[in-house]
Amino acid sequence: MTTESSFDAEAGDVRGETVNIQNAGVRDVYAESVVLTMGSAGAVHADTVTVKQAGVRTLEGQQVSLKQGGVFQLTGEQVEVIASGVGIIQAAEVRVGPSCNSALTLTEKVTMEQSVAPVMIARHDAQLEQSAVVALVANRVTLHHSAVGLAVAETIEGDVRVQAKPAVAAIFGAAFGAAFGVVMLIGRRRK
């Protein structure tokens, strides 16, 4: 039996197989498939989620598509974000399309096009096309007309311009290590 629910007014918790929410606000949604258009939700839990011009506090799904929306915390398997803002993205594979900003991205593989991010960590590959990242950690990084402030990677390919020479990097590393050591000692003494 397939159930489909549509909402165009405020609602509390919503459950069903397929849920469509338009111009409405809901507290929590639990479904196999959710389409949220021009509304808001506290939390969305579904296998397939599409969010268009809407805001969500926490979003969990297997296949997630976010277009012109905002999400505080997004968790998923395959995530596509276009013209949106996300606080934290945690997913296996992420595609960040044009005009996006994500504060922190934790993923296996990421492709970023015409967007910005302060911190991005990818276990395997990170591909940037006309994008900027302040700090990037990945096994392999490919840059095309992009800028990265600090990159930690086994392999970096593409348009690579080094901003810090080895001597400057060594001094920065030593200073960071010393500061980290002091913080750890102070933390142990307070216990």
Q: Is residue 62 within 8 Å of residue 79, measured between CB atoms?
A: no
Pick the more confident residue, 27 or 128. Answer: 128
| pLDDT band for position 124 (cuts 50, 70, 90) | very high
The answer on pLDDT for 42 being more than 70 is yes
DSSP one-letter code for 171: H
Nearest partner of 120 among 152, 146, 154, 76, judged by Cα: 152
Which SS3 state, helix, strand or coil, does residue 130 take? coil
Q: DSSP character for 49?
A: E
DSSP-derived secondary structure letter, 145:
S
Rounded to whole angstroms, how far apart are CA atoms 171 and 67?
A: 42
First-to-last C-alpha distance (Å) of the chain: 57
Q: Can you tell me the mean pLDDT for 123-132?
A: 95
Comparing 39 with 168, which gets the higher pLDDT?
A: 39
Side chain identity at 40, as an amino acid letter?
A: S
Closest C-alpha to 115, from 125, 130, 134: 130
Which pLDDT does position 1 carry in this prediction? 35
Between residues 63 and 7, the one the model is more confident about = 63
Residue 23 has pLDDT above 70, yes or no: yes
Mean pLDDT, the chain, integer: 86
pLDDT, residue 146, reads: 92
Q: Tokens 């849920």 sit at which residue? A: 19
Confidence of residue 163 (pLDDT cuts 50, 70, 90): low
Whole-angstrom CA distances from 179 to 116, 172, 183 are 28, 11, 6
Contact 139/155 with Cβ under 8 angstroms? yes
- Chain segment 73-102, per-residue pLDDT in tens: 999 999 999 999 999 999 999 999 999 989
Residues 6+ apart with CB under 8 A from 69: 51, 52, 53, 54, 55, 56, 84
Its pTM stands at 0.77
